[in-house]
Amino acid sequence: MNTASLFVALKQEARRRPYILHLEILEQTPRLLKARLRISPEIFVQIYRNDQNDTTNLALIHNGLRIYGRDQLGGNWHRHSGLQPAFHDKSQEGQRVIGLTEFLNEVEAVLAASGLP
């Protein structure tokens, strides 16, 4: 995943998923992308990708706090679960490479399990 392909995927997912109110591009350069998929006034998915540092951060934010996420730093992935959002899950599942579509599927499951819209 690089910034160019991620930008295309963000636009596609924002159109495809009716619960996403809108896509906000916070910062964009040829090698960096920071965006939000707004779900409600209190809930959004924040996406960050830096091609130069090979860093990806995908986070579900509720009331200003990360409640779920997956991060990739230098080619290595880890997960932040809803039960322990500060903990780096480096299990086999936590280290699995994940794309935007799959992450948003996980977000839907987390929202449903939490009783959030």
User: What pLDDT is recorded for position 94?
Assistant: 83
Q: Are 33 and 44 in contact (CB under 8 A)?
A: no
Residue 53 confidence class, pLDDT cut points 50, 70, 90? very high
CA-based angle 110:114:45, to the nearest 5?
45
Which segments within 1-117 are labelled E, that is strand? Answer: 22-29, 32-38, 43-50, 55-62, 65-73, 76-80
Q: Indicate if the pLDDT at residue 1 is higher than 90.
A: no
Question: Residue 20's pLDDT band (boundaries 50, 70, 90)?
Answer: very high
Structure token pair of residue 40: 């409600």
Asked whether the beta carbons of 84 and 94 are under 8 A apart, the reply is no
- pLDDT at residue 43 in the model: 98
* Tens digits of residue pLDDT in 92-114: 888 898 999 999 999 999 999 99
| The pLDDT of residue 90 | 83
The pLDDT, as a whole number, for residue 63 is 95
**Per-residue pLDDT at 93:** 87
Per residue in 62-78, pLDDT (tens digit) is 999 999 999 999 889 99
Find the helix packing angle between 100-114 and 3-16, rounded to 10°. Answer: 40
